[in-house]
Amino acid sequence: MAPEMISIHGGVFRMGSDRFYPEEGPVHEVAVEPFELDATPVTVAQFAAFVDATGYVTTAERP
Alpha-carbon torsion, ordered 63, 50, 33, 8, to 10 deg: -140
Q: What is the pLDDT along the chain (63 residues), one digit of tens a residue?
A: 666 999 999 999 999 999 989 899 999 999 999 999 989 998 999 999 999 999 999 999 998
Domains of the chain, residue spans: 5-61
Phi then psi dihedrals of residue 45, to 5 deg: -65, -40
